Amino acid sequence: MVSEHTPSTTSSASPASQVLVASNRGPVSYTLGEDGTLDAKRGGGGLVSGLSAVDDKLWVCAALGDGDREAVRRGVGEPGVRMLDIDAEVHADAYNGIANSVLWFVHHMLYQTPVEPVFDAEFRRQWAAYETYNRAFARALAEEAEPGASVLVQDYHLALAPGMLRELRPDLRIGHFSHTPWAPVDYFRLLPDDIAEQLLHGILGADRAAFLTRRWADAFIGCCTEILGGTGRTRIGVHGLGADADFLRERAHEPDVDERMAALREQVGEGRKTIVRVDRTELSKNIVRGLHAYRALLEARPEWRERVVHIAFAYPSRQDLAVYRDYTAAVQSLATEINGQYGTESWTPVVLHVKDDFARSLAAYRLADVALVNPIRDGMNLVAKEVPVVSDQGCALVLSREAGAYEELGEDAIVVNPYDVTGTADALHEALTMSGDERSGRTKRLAEAATALPPQAWFLEQLEALRQDELPR
């Protein structure tokens, strides 16, 4: 086993060496219009920001929809991006069948184990597609990479790609970064033994495997030690992705955000406090228990009725999977139930929005008196980091101890067990009654911790660590 201390400072990446990034989703997507035109939409995030600091770069990603696939067929593309037109059925089996319905469930510990998982012939068929999908990336990276290039492979979708690429191109510097938690060994061993070993060997094909927190890194090391006997020559690193303070603060004061703030204020009503959450309707985000906790607050402490509003943004996620559609429906049903039980002519207890709107999310951040972030398991959770940075008057953070952000923010948050609805209701009361001075002080410290490693520095730190790794293979 080889581990390392993550440096607190980062030097700039050398522009002379080629850098490749591989991820399921790329920095651009295409929409096919009825008239046959292709419209390109550029994405954002830490990888996009980080790669902007590198001159010689290539992003390898999958074509995710009809527009993307048509763009590949027509030879339409962005400089520095190679989009792979993997067979749509293969991609669906790899992405929905394995990555999102198996690996995500394992690492977030989401299975109802009396009845699931069931690893049968259908699973094996989908696993073969996952192998094919990863092999397509490995071959594309091997074709594109210059001698000695640095390759940063992203996330659970591409856990096999580092090992496959190592066989094709032993000269490359390969890193893998996991954006999710990593399952503890007893839970990871729900997977068939050969599959568990294959996943570990795939990531250990990298020179360096990195994680968002020490906890997830240690869980990976534990799996490797227990199942394989160690991590071999692969170094293990930790890089806690932070919020991009400059971007957020500037974007949060643009006119469209001000317009959304005015609309939200009207929905909330004059003089009321706000509890804000912004999430995808992802099973691990624990939105339903958060709503139950809010209802428990209103029931146990009637003094808060008509004095607080829960602004809940639950943006639909993975709606092509039935379990996610059901969860989204459960969120909407419970919000309606709470409003029916407690609402009055002048007060709507839960203001729920399900249509994704970034400007509206930033407006809610600015309005937040309390931010509720209560996932049952989360690799990091950037919302917990973004709200303190953007909040106008300072906010109290109610934070699950199972969020990766807990390692950095726990000292100044009100920490909850995400399964404890009563405890979370008590935490919401504590947050709502926190003095202005205490809230201001905590918000300042939370913002400092949240922005310690902003996206560009986060990416460059990984790249520098990979390039400095001189261990012989």
228 and 264 belong to one structural domain = no
Contact 94, 135 (CB under 8 A): no
Tokens for 11, please give them. Answer: 């030097």
39 and 114 belong to one structural domain = yes
Full domain range(s) for residue 43: 2-241+456-468
198 and 291 belong to one structural domain = no
With vertex at residue 42, the alpha carbon angle to CA 40 and CA 48, rounded to the nearest 5 degrees, is 150
With vertex at residue 173, the alpha carbon angle to CA 168 and CA 177, rounded to the nearest 5 degrees, is 100
Give me the pLDDT at residue 469, please.
64
424 and 332 belong to one structural domain = yes
C-alpha 314: how far from chain center? 15
How many independent structural domains does the chain possess?
A: 2
DSSP-H helix ranges across 145-182: 161-168
If DSSP codes are grouped into helix, strand and coil, which group holds residue 305?
Answer: coil
Give me the pLDDT at residue 2, please.
40
174 and 266 belong to one structural domain = no
What is the rounded (10 degree) CA torsion for 204, 168, 133, 234? 10
With vertex at residue 357, the alpha carbon angle to CA 372 and CA 280, rounded to the nearest 5 degrees, is 45
Total Cβ atoms within 10 A of residue 455: 21
Tokens for 331, please give them. Answer: 């969120």
105 and 227 belong to one structural domain = yes
If you count DSSP H runs as helices and E runs as strands, how many of each does the chain have, helices first?
A: 19, 16
Residue 435 lies in a domain: yes
Question: Smallest Cα–Cα separation from 277: which of 293, 299, 296?
Answer: 293
Residue 29 lies in a domain: yes
Summarize pLDDT for 98-147 with one digit per residue, the tens: 999 999 999 999 999 999 999 999 999 999 999 999 999 999 999 999 99
66 and 170 belong to one structural domain = yes
Residue 264 lies in a domain: yes
Q: Which residues contact 173 (CB under 8 A, 6 or more apart)?
A: 148, 149, 150, 151, 207, 466, 467, 469
Phi, psi of 456 (to 5 degrees): -65, -45
Contact 216, 251 (CB under 8 A): no
Alpha-carbon distance 23 to 58, whole Å?
11
Give me the pLDDT at residue 4, please.
45
**Torsion sign, CA atoms 11, 16, 22, 28:** positive
With helix as H, strand as E and coil as C, how does 430-445 read?
Answer: HHHCCCHHHHHHHHHH
Give me the pLDDT at residue 201, please.
98
211 and 87 belong to one structural domain = yes
Phi, psi of 223 (to 5 degrees): -65, -45
Question: Smallest Cα–Cα separation from 190: which of 286, 103, 250?
Answer: 103
CATH code: domain of residue 359: 3.40.50.2000
Tokens for 255, please give them. Answer: 């006119």
Total Cβ atoms within 10 A of residue 433: 11
Summarize pLDDT for 242-251 with one digit per residue, the tens: 999 999 999 9
Predicted structure pTM score: 0.93
Residue 396 lies in a domain: yes
Residue 439 lies in a domain: yes
- Give yes or no for a cis peptide into 418 (omega within 30° of 0): no
Phi, psi of 240 (to 5 degrees): -85, 100
| Beta bridge partners of residue 13, listed in sequence order | none
**First-last CA distance in the chain:** 14
Question: Smallest Cα–Cα separation from 188: which of 128, 270, 284, 106?
Answer: 106
Residue 331 lies in a domain: yes
Tokens for 179, please give them. Answer: 């954006």
Alpha-carbon distance 42 to 424, whole Å?
38
364 and 462 belong to one structural domain = no
205 and 220 belong to one structural domain = yes
252 and 135 belong to one structural domain = no
285 and 428 belong to one structural domain = yes
Residue 123 lies in a domain: yes
- Burial class, 128, CB count within 10 angstroms (exposed 0-12 / middle 13-18 / buried 19+): middle
pLDDT tens digits for the chain (473 residues)? 344 433 333 334 444 489 999 999 999 999 998 888 999 988 777 777 777 778 789 999 999 999 999 999 999 999 999 999 999 999 999 999 999 999 999 999 999 999 999 999 999 999 999 999 999 999 999 999 999 999 999 999 999 999 999 999 999 999 999 999 999 999 999 999 999 999 999 999 999 999 999 999 999 999 999 999 999 999 999 999 999 999 999 999 999 999 999 999 999 999 999 999 999 999 999 999 999 999 999 999 999 999 999 999 998 877 777 888 899 999 999 999 999 999 999 999 999 999 889 999 999 999 999 999 999 999 999 999 999 999 999 999 999 999 999 999 999 999 999 999 999 999 999 999 999 999 999 999 999 999 999 999 999 999 999 998 654 44
Residue 473 lies in a domain: no
Tokens for 220, please give them. Answer: 């990976």
